[in-house]
Amino acid sequence: MKRLYGDSLRKDAGLTRVLKTVTRKHAQVLDKHVPELAEVAQDLKKGLENVYGKTAVVLEDILARCKCPLVPCIFPRVRMY
């Protein structure tokens, strides 16, 4: 194509040009909200860690109350209180 048209050949086709402009616009919008997104991600992480911790405590209580002699064999890594 370059041999045929030389330097007058445009660098971006229609779809490529549209994609570049759309991504630039979205990047500018996201740059404004990065601190907010980081805060939301941190809150989500804390919430998930809290749920995980509470679930582990409840599961340990349930397994500790279980009278089945196979529980220590099936769950050797679970702490029993």
**What is residue 81's predicted lDDT score, i.e. its pLDDT?**
44
Report which of residues 73 and 61 the model is more confident about: 61
pLDDT of 9 > 70? The answer is no
CB of 63 within 8 A of CB of 79?
A: no
Q: For residues 63 and 1, what is the distance between their CA atoms, to the nearest angstrom? A: 72
**What is residue 47's predicted lDDT score, i.e. its pLDDT?**
92
* pTM greater than 0.95 (yes/no): no
- DSSP string across 51-63: HHHHHHHHHHHHH
Residue carrying the six token digits 């919430």? 47
57-77 in b/e form (b: 16+ CB < 10 A) is: eeeeeebeeeeeeebeeeeee
Write the pLDDT tens digit of every residue in 34-61.
788 888 889 999 999 999 889 888 887 8
Rounded to the nearest integer, the mean pLDDT of the chain is 76
